[in-house]
Structure 1
Amino acid sequence: MPNPNDSLQRRSRRNTDALRSQILDAASELFLRDGYANTSVDAVIAKVGGSKRAIYSHFGGKEDLFAAMIADLSEQALVAIEPEERAGDDVRHELIRAARAIMGILMDPRTIALYRVVIAESGRMPGLAETFLQSGPGRATESLARLLRHYSRAGLVDVANPREAAEHFIGMLRDESHLEVVLGVRKPLGERAQRARVERVVDIFLVGVLAR
């Protein structure tokens, strides 16, 4: 016989997840539009409804809410980087898949706006930049490093320092075009241009790391 408490718990989880998602959406809009300093917890509450208690119980405070927003934006790229236990033996294929996801995030208008917010406010709030690096780029780099470490142990690539190699790889993807987009002197690359850039970067990277 079904337990009515199970149904209540599932409904409660759905409601909790929905509220968390609504808070993140509202916070993202305000942070990216108004900047970190000009966005308050009260402003988020006014937009989404509820109370401060809801935000503090889900996120812990404004800085934690900002970190959660960055992590949420990063999740798309992280999902595309296969955990080492599921990665196939086709290194080029896996790197292209991961690189396309990372490039998509780099050229996402929300990510561009986020970079601008962090650059504008990090001089007054150095901790903001650290939160951004740890919750966004740092997580992507570490996931890619784990994948490279797996291939290195399998003898498919020759990488002495997977973390450093991952940093170089993402740096090649980012290159000067990303800076130009952040500065507003060019538009984000379209999907076709991103795909071509990704394949060139992967092929150049593999020349240096493929096991011989």
Structure 2
Amino acid sequence: MTAPQRLTDRKRESIVQAAIAEFRDNGFEVTSMDRIAARAEVSKRTVYNHFPSKEELFSEMLHRLWATSAAQADAAYRPGVALRDQLRELLDSKMKTLGDPNFIDLARVAIGATIHSPDRAQTWVNRLNEREETFTVWVRGAQQDGRLKAVEPGFAASQIHALLKAFAFWPQVTLNKPLLTAEEQVTVVNSALDLFLCWYEIPAACPA
């Protein structure tokens, strides 16, 4: 009973990967279920058995995008632990996701498919904001402990995300720039830490 299930799973995965490649190469509107089936080397009937529509396939890609972006370090604030150490863990985890070529491919496909549909775009933005709530939780905890300045937590969280994405997301997704090297990732994270804590930490600990 297990072998047929494994075969089904492999076919489903082939279909999803073919869809990602087709959407990336040709865009959402041009891509057809026939092209996906041909690329996955399965029948069109098999594609429809797994996904009733192209929209369902797109939803599966979004689900994977959210699942990948959610794989971050524990965002719980820890009293008594240096803010820099805690925030570095969060940023390193976020950078690991941003450095994953599969994540960048999925993000590129998602943006390309949503750019012509306000409804899709709004859903995508809302789901990304949900994933970034982890940083908001951490900022709120540090504020309640009197270690960060009073600011709307979501605003501060958006700022720290923007400091990373300006170098490790948007250039790769929109301009097809190469992923950052390990050394570049460290530089971006350290700079983000300095800027964020210099402004928000109490007392401010700006580097010399």
Q: Decide: shared fold, TM above 0.5.
A: yes
Deviation at 1:25, TM superposition (A): 2.6
Q: Which amino acid aligns with 1:82?
A: D
In the alignment, which of 67, 91, 107 is matched to residue 83 of structure 2? 91
Aligned to 2:154: 163
TM-score, normalised on structure 1? 0.70
In 2, distance between residues paired with 1:148 and 1:67?
31
Q: Report the count of equivalent residues.
A: 199
Describe the shift of the 1:198–1:176 C-alpha distance in structure 2 as closer, same or farther (beyond 3 A): closer
Describe the shift of the 1:210–1:186 C-alpha distance in structure 2 as closer, same or farther (beyond 3 A): same
User: Do residues 69 (structure 1) and 35 (structure 2) align?
Assistant: no
Describe the shift of the 1:85–1:120 C-alpha distance in structure 2 as closer, same or farther (beyond 3 A): closer
Aligned to 1:53: 49
Identical amino acids, percent of aligned pairs: 25
In 1, distance between residues paired with 2:56 and 2:142?
34
Deviation at 1:110, TM superposition (A): 4.5
Deviation at 1:192, TM superposition (A): 0.9
In 1, distance between residues paired with 2:113 and 2:56?
16
In 2, distance between residues paired with 1:83 and 1:187?
29
User: Do residues 127 (structure 1) and 122 (structure 2) align?
Assistant: no
Deviation at 1:120, TM superposition (A): 5.1
Aligned to 1:4: none
In 1, distance between residues paired with 2:36 and 2:87?
38
TM-score, normalised on structure 2? 0.71
* 1:89 alignment partner, SS class: coil
Deviation at 1:127, TM superposition (A): 2.7
Q: Give a deviation string over 1:15-68, Cα, whole Å, max 9, x none.
A: 776665444333222222222112234443442632413214xxxx43343243
Aligned to 1:33: 25
Describe the shift of the 1:16–1:146 C-alpha distance in structure 2 as closer, same or farther (beyond 3 A): farther
Deviation at 1:179, TM superposition (A): 4.5
Which structure 1 residue ranges, 5 or more long, are not aligned?
Answer: 1-7
In 2, distance between residues paired with 1:25 and 1:88?
45
Q: Which amino acid aligns with 2:36?
A: V
In 2, distance between residues paired with 1:12 and 1:154?
54
Deviation at 1:201, TM superposition (A): 0.3
